[in-house]
């Protein structure tokens, strides 16, 4: 009887391994550049033809490879980085499994030329399809040059799954850019034949690297971020809320010099922008994390792009809190530019130009900037017969003292700005026009009142002992299958938060109680909107986030609306209440509340 189980030959094993490690040309470049960085290179030159299948060349000035090690380096699982499994707990290198060169060699025509600094001549080894063709001595400077030609020549099916030249090269340039951001102390250059795509100076300044990779305009707008406590340090740059994009493409995470992908860190970063960015928008960020190797596992992904953290909850919370504090400390005011791009000057970038890079006396400077008050003597009169005052006075919730703000030492600074604003009129019955004699500010009245309502209701909830308020007449709620599954998944949490639901049959429930309810109409409708808010969020909500979503709905539905006419007195009251909030710059859904048009830009527009 013939056995059904057989041991694969080494060539087949290598090609399967290559399929895991070498997905496409950018995988080759990533692995080879990481080898160059592990070899202590401070200059890495990358050349690519077409989409990377015809030619990839990586040249570095690292320590090189000894001749006796060169033949071993291309064998499977041959590595100088570790000797036993325990070494992974103190690993400081980017590569360690010894798979990259063997995997690349098995699906390409590979040439390696390398010389250490104490050798007279370099050694070249040539391999085709995993078989060594020749070794010889050649002339070459110290360092290593790896040339990969005819990638996937012996696995043509793999070629069918590659995209066009422009798409593949776009992925390559993106990856090289991220590697350059991870190591600003290394000079990187990316070339196509006779065409330099970009290069970095390698002087160790991350901001210079960002300017080279992401552009000067992006670098000017970013805010520095920093945290250092215990074994964890966080550094880098994040964008202000008004500089966002519709994808995560602008986000780069680096752990101990390694570029990684992480859903955990992405969620933590986005949570730091909580209510400062709409749910479908994302920041630009380059964030370095430094922590002991024993605190994470990099051996969970064939290409080492994803890692597993030991203390995920703590790391996530620290990053979220650090981002949040940085953003609120930078006074994230949206500015509307009236100057055309052609008129804008482009000075050299300096760290002091960045919105979040402030000296120790920066808040004092802001106080001085907005300290001069002018007597309020409006010449424009509007009717106060609007019926809005009762809404601004927040009659929906019991009147209780406001809780302390998240960052108490910044409250006076925000007030110093908003107290100097005075309304001068209403535009389209939707926007409040204000000034402090230094600029014109346009405030979305609904977004402003929504922010006020949200923070007031949240304060009341946190300071109220009673979790639930029973409805006098239960409301009937009919749910879709998706809505019911969500309710069942979070049933206990909802109950603990104050939602009392009783199953009636066939996805129909009685809503008998809700948290935070006073003089509120249509609780059933509000509850359905609340469920929609949860469904539309891809991140599983915590108990705190569930109640925040409920308060989102309450705040939005009870706030003044567009087309509501306001008197100047009501506008003043709204500005006063807005200035007392923890975040007066965006509504709970992340939309901007206030937009600034500077006096200088107005003067430029009038050619003054």
Contact 212, 180 (CB under 8 A): yes
Q: Is 599 left (phi over 0), alpha (psi -120 to 50) or beta?
A: alpha
pTM of the model: 0.62
Cβ–Cβ under 8 Å, residues 56 and 25: yes
Q: Hey, which residues does 184 pair with through a beta bridge? A: none
| SS percent in the chain: helix, strand, coil, step 5 | 40, 25, 40
CATH of the domain at 572: 3.30.1540.20
**How confident is the model over 46-101, as pLDDT tens digits?**
999 989 999 999 999 999 998 888 888 887 666 665 555 554 555 666 755 557 78
Is residue 44 domain-shared with residue 157, that is, in the same domain? yes
Pair (41, 102) in one structural domain: yes
The whole-chain average pLDDT of the chain stands at 79
Please indicate, yes or no, whether residues 188 and 241 belong to a single structural domain of this protein. no
Task: Give the 3-state DSSP-derived string for 159-210, with helices as H, strands as E and coil as C.
Answer: HHCCCCHHHHHHHHHHHHHHHHHHCCCCEEEEEECCEEEEECCCCCCHHHHH
Q: Is 371 within the bounds of a domain?
A: no
Asked if residue 318 and residue 340 are part of one domain, the reply reads no
Per the CB < 8 A criterion, the answer to whether 331 and 241 are in contact is: no
- Say whether both 414 and 561 belong to one domain: yes
Considering the domain architecture, whether residues 112 and 150 belong to the same structural domain is answered as: yes
Residue 504: per-residue pLDDT: 87
Are 325 and 341 within one domain?
Answer: no
Q: Are 143 and 114 in contact (CB under 8 A)?
A: yes
Q: Is residue 257 one of the residues assigned to a domain?
A: yes
| Residue 368 belongs to a domain | no
- Taking only the tens place, the pLDDT of each residue in 443-457 is 999 999 999 999 988
Note whether residue 5 is domain-resident.
no
On whether the CB atoms of residues 366 and 331 are closer than 8 A, the answer is: yes
Any domain includes 207: no
Q: Where are the alpha helices (H) located in 256-387, listed in sequence order?
A: 263-272, 312-329, 362-369
Q: What does the pLDDT read at residue 301?
A: 57
Three-state DSSP class for 551? helix
Q: Is residue 133 part of a domain?
A: yes
- Cα–Cα distance between 350 and 357 in angstroms, integer? 10
310 and 431 co-located in one domain: no
> 321 near 311, Cβ under 8 Å?
no
**Looking at 287, 302, 332, which one is the last position of a domain?**
332
pLDDT tens readout for residues 572-586: 999 999 999 988 988
Residue range(s) defining the domain that contains residue 462: 333-354+385-608
Show which of 332, 367, 400 is a domain's final residue. 332
Q: What is the pLDDT of residues 154-208, one digit of tens each?
A: 888 788 888 888 888 888 988 999 999 999 999 999 998 888 888 999 999 999 9
Taking the CB of residue 20, how many other CB atoms lie within 10 A of it? 13
195 and 226 housed in the same domain: no
- Quickly list H helices, 62-138: 67-73, 100-106
Task: Please state, in angstroms and rounded to a whole number, the distance separating the CA atoms of residues 534 and 240.
Answer: 26
Considering the domain architecture, whether residues 107 and 193 belong to the same structural domain is answered as yes
> Do 446 and 583 share a structural domain?
yes
Tell me the two tokens of residue 312: 């995920």
**Burial readout 452-481 (b: 16 or more C-beta within 10 A, e: otherwise):** bbbbbbbbbbeeeeebbbebeebbebebee
Number of domains in the chain: 3
Residues 524 and 549 in one domain: yes
pLDDT for residue 24 is more than 60: yes
Task: Note whether 58 and 114 are within 8 A (CB).
Answer: no
Residue with tokens 């209510």: 275
| pLDDT tier at 359, thresholds 50, 70, 90 | very low
Distance CA 59, CA 442 (A): 54
Tell whether 362 is covered by a domain: no
- Name, in order, each residue with C-beta under 8 angstroms of 2's C-beta and a sequence gap of 6 or more: none
């Amino acid at each position: 009887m013939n056995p059904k189980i057989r041991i694969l030959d080494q060539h087949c094993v290598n090609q399967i391994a290559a399929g895991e490690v070498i997905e496409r040309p950018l995988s080759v470049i990533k692995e080879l550049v990481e080898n160059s960085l592990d070899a202590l290179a401070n200059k890495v030159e990358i050349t690519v033809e077409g989409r990377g299948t015809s030619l990839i060349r990586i040249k570095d000035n690292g320590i090189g490879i000894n001749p006796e090690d060169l033949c071993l380096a291309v064998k499977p699982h041959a590595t100088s980085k570790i000797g036993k499994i325990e070494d992974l707990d103190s690993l400081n290198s980017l590569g360690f499994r010894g798979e990259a060169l063997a995997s690349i060699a098995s699906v390409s025509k590979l040439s390696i030329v390398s010389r250490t600094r104490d050798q007279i001549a370099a050694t070249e080894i040539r391999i085709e399809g995993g078989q060594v063709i020749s070794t010889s001595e050649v002339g070459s400077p110290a360092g290593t040059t790896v040339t990969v030609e005819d990638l996937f020549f012996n696995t043509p099916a793999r070629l069918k799954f590659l995209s066009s030249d422009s798409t593949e090269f776009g992925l390559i340039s993106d990856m090289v850019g991220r590697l350059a951001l991870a190591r600003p102390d290394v000079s990187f250059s990316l070339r196509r034949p006779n065409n330099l795509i970009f290069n970095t100076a390698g002087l160790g300044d991350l901001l210079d690297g960002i300017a080279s990779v992401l552009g000067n305009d992006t670098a000017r707008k970013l805010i520095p971020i920093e945290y250092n406590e215990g074994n964890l340090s966080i550094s880098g740059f994040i964008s202000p809320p008004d500089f966002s994009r519709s994808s995560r493409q602008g986000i780069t995470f680096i752990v101990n010099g390694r570029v990684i992908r992480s859903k955990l860190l992405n969620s933590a970063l986005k949570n730091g922008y909580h209510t400062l960015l709409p749910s479908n928008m994302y920041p630009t960020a380059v964030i370095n994390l430094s922590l002991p190797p024993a605190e994470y596992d990099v051996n969970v992904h064939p290409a080492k792009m994803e890692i597993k953290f030991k203390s995920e909850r703590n790391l996530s919370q620290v990053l979220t809190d650090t981002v949040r504090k940085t953003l609120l400390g930078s006074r994230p005011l949206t500015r509307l530019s009236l100057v055309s791009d052609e008129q804008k000057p482009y000075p050299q970038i300096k760290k002091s130009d960045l919105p979040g890079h402030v000296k120790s006396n920066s808040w004092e400077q802001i106080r001085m900037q907005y300290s001069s008050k002018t007597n309020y003597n409006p010449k424009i009169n509007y009717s106060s017969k609007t019926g809005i005052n009762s809404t601004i006075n927040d009659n929906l919730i019991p009147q209780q003292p406001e809780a302390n703000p998240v960052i108490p030492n910044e409250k006076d600074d925000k007030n110093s700005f908003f107290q100097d604003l005075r309304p001068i009129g209403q535009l389209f019955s939707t926007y409040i026009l204000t000034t402090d004699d230094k600029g014109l500010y346009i405030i979305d009245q609904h977004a402003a009142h929504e922010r006020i309502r949200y923070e007031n209701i949240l304060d009341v909830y946190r300071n109220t002992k009673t979790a639930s308020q029973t409805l006098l007449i239960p409301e009937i709620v009919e749910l879709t299958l998706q809505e019911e599954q969500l309710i069942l998944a979070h049933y206990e949490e909802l109950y603990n938060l104050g939602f009392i639901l009783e199953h009636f049959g066939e996805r129909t429930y009685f809503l008998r109680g809700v948290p935070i309810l006073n003089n509120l109409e249509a609780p059933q409708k509000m509850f359905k909107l609340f469920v929609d808010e949860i469904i539309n969020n891809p991140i599983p909500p915590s108990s705190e986030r569930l109640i925040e979503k409920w308060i989102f709905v309450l705040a939005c539905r009870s706030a003044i609306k567009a087309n509501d006419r306001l008197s100047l007195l009501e506008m003043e009251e709204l500005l006063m209440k807005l200035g007392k909030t923890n975040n007066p710059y965006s509504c709970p859904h992340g939309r901007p509340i206030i937009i600034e048009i500077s006096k200088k830009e107005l003067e430029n527009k009038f050619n003054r």
